[in-house]
Amino acid sequence: MAGSNVKKDHRDKEQLHISSFARLSQELGLGRSLGKTKEMGILNLGTDDEVEVWGYRRSWFKLGLTVVSIVLTAGLLGLPLYWIERFWLYCTSEQCSLADATQVLLVDHYKGIHTSRYVKDVKIIKHKEEDILLPVEDESNFKRTREIRFFNMKKRKYIWDSEDSNFFQCTGLDRNITLAELHSYSDGLSTLESDRRKVLYGENTIKVPVHGVLVLLVKEILTPFYVFQVFSVCFWYADQYWMYASAILLTSAVSLGAALYNTRTTQHNLRDTIVSSEAVSVFRADGTKVRVMSSDLVPGDLIEVPDHGCQMHCDAVLIEGQAIMNESMLTGESVPITKTSCPTEQMIYNSKEHEKHTLKCGTQVIQTRKHRGQTVRAVVIRTGYLTTKGDLVRSILYPPPVDFQFESDSYKFILVLAMIATIGMIYTLAKMVKDDESASDIVLEVFDLITIVVPPALPAAMTIGVVIAQQRLKIKKIFCISPRSINVAGSLDCVCFDKTGTITEDGMDMWGIIPSHLGLQSIEDHEKPASTEFCEPVKNVGEVKLESKILIGMSVCHELNVIDGEIMGDPLEEKIFESTDWSLELDGEEENQVDRLVMPYVRSPVRADESVIQAAPQRVMQFSSDIQCMSVICRVFQEHPDVGFSQPQCFVYCKGSPEKIRRICRKETIPPNYAAILDHYAGQGYRIIGIAYRPIPPDMAKTARINKLTRHEIESDLSFLGLIILENRIKPISTAVMKELHGANIRPIMVTGDNILTAVSVSRNCGLVPNSEKLIRVVATVEDGVPCVRYHPLAENAISEVDKLETKLDIAKRYNFALDGSSFDVISTYFRADLLPFIVRRGAVFARMRPDMKQQLVEILQDLDYFVGMCGDGANDCGALKAAHSGISLSEAEASVASPFTSKTPDISCVPLLIQEGRAALVTSFGIFKYMAAYSITQFISVMILYDIYSNLSDSQFLYIDLFIITSLAAFFGLNRAYEGRLADHPPDNSLISMLPLFSLLSQLAIVTTFQVIALFLTKSQDWFVGFDYENPCYTGTKAEGTFNKSGLLKLEKCDPEYDPVASYENYAIFSVSQFQYIILAIAFSKGAPYRKNIFNNLPIIFDIGILTAFSTYLVLTPHEVFINGFIIGFELFLPPQEEFRIILISLVLANVVVSIFFESYISDGLVKKFLRRKNTTHDILDEELQKKTDWPPVTESPGSDHSSPVKDSPMKNDVVITDKGVSDPNDAFDSLFSTPASISHTSAAIFLNPPPFSPKKGTPLSAINLKSSNESTPNKKSFNSALSTPGLTETDSSESSSKFVSCNSIAAENGLDHRRAADKGSEDSSDVYR
């Protein structure tokens, strides 16, 4: 029934989505251009993988017409149809319903800003009998059918559902299945059932495609780059440019061979790394146990996890026994993880929520635990690419288009070049037709311009910077599985950091404990009443009595394991256990009163009476980020040397975040000054953990009854024992990194699961929040259904008497916000359109954030136009690491499913290193792109000038320019290392189609054109000059005849126009200047500081420039005759008779050097850059608005609540109360918030928000941010797409869904708000995470 409701809800959402899409089509007037809605479906609705699917079927008429057209065009039409697959689909198929489709067009709108399209064939498997299993969408069962229709996209299978008339993703067994249903597989599958499921799921292998050499060769040759090369070579041979054509053919063959070798080697290496298979023991339904290959496993199989450990080849859920896992390959955490068997409950299995029961593919089983005679068993739930490891490989094979803007700009730029070539072609065509040239000459000359303007080597040149940066990062122990992300890392202007293990050390030092009187009470006196007040802090835990409740709890409440005689586990738990001086042992014999389940038990040091206390865990409820605590049920007894063992007592011990422990303890056991003590130590940056206990009566202490207890029953009605205090040391490098990021105007943000005051203290101490900036705590609560937001100042250091007297905040200084997960949740729910963007813009510390909240925050920052980096440990931060533009996982593994970057150096020093290399790679990519474009247009200008006199550059001149100058300079261009000084205070430009790169390129081209024209006119002004005559190429009968005869050019025998002579004074002048211009352009575009080292540090390019400059100078001044008329190396240079003129040309080149470098360094990178640098991003506009509002936020003294500073309660005067009352004018909403009076008569500032009934589809703006100031509207308003909402489409317009801010005295009275009560309730963090 639950499955049907889910299915109905899914169907309703999809129908809403499609109908909204249809309405949008009509509003835009697109009609059928977007297709009929019945021909379109939505896959993976509401997820990051959401795609549109359109149905098509083969049209034999259109197919025949297309084939005939391809034949008639000699295959030319087939090339664009091959390159752009959907064009082939359009030309050979017609739209139809999805039910009749033989092919589908998939449209993926990546984050609403980049669209990719894929064409896939719909495959059909038919059987005579109904023995094909078909998963029922959103339900856990299967149905039988004779036919299955499906297609594959990105290694995922999508199956047709005739009931919903749509395709749905084929998932594993983990679709709306309960834990009890998983246990129903405890007998295993029959062989017949296994074979049926194999038809559906296929082999359990992660296949990496390895193509044959011939296939790779054909694919590579048919790419646009090589097709253009083939066209160019054929054209040059036809135009008798055989020498240059042969050289290009040879270099292309070498390049093609290298590309094939690299591709095949990469495929083989990836396959060898990924693909593995071994024999696995599988239980069958008839009670037998068989050995099968892991590739034959299917979801539902029951496998045995061997005692000696193994590598997992599938995702499976433990239903019996325990396993200790090493998951470093996936999460980056090298700490062993204990996996326990899942309970038999009617709870829907969720891979994230029940992660502690899930064995993941690619991880290593270190050892198992079980009762005697028991077998550790697990049910396979996912195989192949459905597994966690499969996701990692998919992320490598199909990386997200993070650099889509640069790629898009590149295509636009090439299109501009093609347009320039077209203009030149039209001009040349018109001129040659006017001069009655032959058709063959016209075709050859016109098409020659295409090969000049569009550089075929551009794609290869573009990858140089990224490839080199990837190798340099590898040397610095930063590994990358998505090279395209490197350029994006150069644009980062905001970096989010996890705290524990990232900014601070993983390992902590025990500061001590603050026990209550009950905590120091002996375990034997657990029935006696004891005071609940705190005792004096105990710094040396060893001084506490061994039999005290808190000490036994510290020694037994953990997830530590003994592996190969060594205690391993979470470093925090290791420190706590180490401080007790107890030992962890693994004997497990019955005489030691230890349960048969081989779990470590703890043993105290010998007491004064020579007795020993032992505590044996019976059941462990593992730590969960969402539940924010862990607990253990244990039996405690004493061992006396004479008497033997005492009667065991059974207890529940629980430890977790102080807020969580307070909520699950009985109120009468909580010390009265709990909040003040907690805030005092948290404010000093200590890591604080609460601990509590409850005795279990003997009649409830039986193993069977213990195993039936739910987690909620175990973790409730506890008695508080005390606080465990640990010192959270900041890593030495963290402070320096924060200082460098601030200096580079890169915004650092702390996103942690720890206590907010601890996080604030660490952020101050490490420099994330400078001492010169104020920090304001945002507290958002919901009272009686009415949301309320308050702002309280936080002291810069320890709280002083002066701070206690403050009731107002000087916000003339820059301020930042700090808030916890519960406040973030309230603001995200009620104020996501109006208040949330401003809170996030100034937010510096986000504490008690769940993993999903971290990801939401990253997505919101991206909506505010930040380029966001995320640095974390790869475990709880996986979602945020994936969502960020550049995620960096601190891990010992070289590749992690968590993020595109993995650093083996366990600190945040990798962040500035990655930004440095990313900026260098980005500048290199821009520089080489501009260089290749400028080279093409420079050569185009030279050729157009010479075309005007029916001349051209000679083959040798083309060969020298293209093969020696351009190829060598482009190859060495990217070798400039990243600048090693301080990061610049702004990132480089990340858009090719923007004013600065365009001005840079156009100004250099203007300089190039100017100096070529000057050289030409300077030559023409000389007394000895004779213009080139195509009909008299050897200057017969002119004053230049003698000079020409002496030059040795007669030996070339090109006095007949049929041999395309080019030797002329004009050719000499243009070539002499232009050959230097290619070198000058490389120098001008090879930027140095602040993103790359100076060009002089790039020795290969300096050496290359020196050789090329020397040889070019030699060609201009006094070339040997062999370089004039020699075979292949003859440049056909007609040198002027006056050597002084040659020196003048060299002087002209020197002037070109000075002007080009001056324009690029001082005009383009200086004046123009300063003039164009303006704030136009969403976050900059928000910041400007906030700077204008000097009276916002309305700040009050912190109330005495659980998570405020220990300041005494004071009357509330400036609280911001958010109500559900509307305002008359939504345009004045934000103004009224800022203009809230701070007087007593205005008790509160009220804020209104009507959240829309449906949240927007991915990429659809939710509502406009109201940026209207009190004086005038802010220009360039930008919509804010909240990443927090559930995907769908809003039914209301922006005016209806916008939040509205009002300030009135009556609203609070109408709602009967009590501010202190709201603050007190808000103190309980509903989303705490203590790790």
Q: Which residues are marked as active site?
A: 498
192 exposure class (CB count in 10 Å sphere: 0-12, 13-18, 19+): exposed
Nearest-angstrom CA–CA distance, 1320 and 416:
63
Among 1045, 1038, 1026, 1113, which Cα is nearest to 1076's? 1113
Dihedral angle of Cα 1123, 1128, 1131, 1134, to the nearest 10 degrees: 80
The answer to whether the beta carbons of residues 912 and 920 sit under 8 Å apart is no
Nearest-angstrom CA–CA distance, 673 and 516:
11
Which residues, other chains included, contact 1304 with Cβ-Cβ below 8 Å and sequence gap of 6+?
1221, 1242, 1246
Among 915, 910, 863, which Cα is nearest to 734's? 910
- Enter the tokens of residue 548: 């005290």
Alpha helices in 476-591 (DSSP H): 484-489, 517-520, 549-556, 571-580
Element (H, E) at 1306: helix 1306-1311
- Enter the tokens of residue 108: 């993926």
Using left for φ > 0, alpha for ψ between -120 and 50, and beta otherwise, residue 785 falls in left
DSSP 16-39: HHHHHHHHHHHHHT-GGGG--GGG
Dihedral angle of Cα 1207, 1209, 1215, 1218, to the nearest 10 degrees: 110
Nearest-angstrom CA–CA distance, 873 and 1201:
32
315, β-bridge pairs: 382
Nearest-angstrom CA–CA distance, 1101 and 1105:
6
Nearest-angstrom CA–CA distance, 41 and 54:
7
DSSP 195-235: HHHHHHH--S--------HHHHHHHHHTSHHHHHHHHHHHH
The answer to whether the beta carbons of residues 453 and 424 sit under 8 Å apart is yes
In eight-state DSSP terms, residue 801 is H
The answer to whether the beta carbons of residues 1319 and 790 sit under 8 Å apart is yes
CA 250 remoteness from chain centre:
40
Nearest-angstrom CA–CA distance, 877 and 753:
10
**Could you give the C-alpha distances from 538 to 541, 1153, 1287, 1299, in angstroms and in order?**
6, 74, 52, 51
Q: Which residues of 546-576 are buried (b: 16+ CB within 10 A; e: fewer)?
A: bbbbbbbbbbbbbbbbbeeeebbbbebbbbb
Nearest-angstrom CA–CA distance, 383 and 391:
11
506 exposure class (CB count in 10 Å sphere: 0-12, 13-18, 19+): middle
- Enter the tokens of residue 376: 């550790």
The answer to whether the beta carbons of residues 862 and 446 sit under 8 Å apart is no
Among 345, 301, 43, which Cα is nearest to 177's? 345
**Could you give the C-alpha distances from 444 to 232, 237, 428, 432, 565, in angstroms and in order?**
11, 11, 11, 11, 80
Q: Is 41 helix (H, G, I), strand (E, B) or coil?
A: strand
What counts of helices (H) and strands (E) characterise the chain?
45, 47
Nearest-angstrom CA–CA distance, 523 and 353:
34
Hey, how many other C-beta atoms are within 10 angstroms of the C-beta on 712? 9
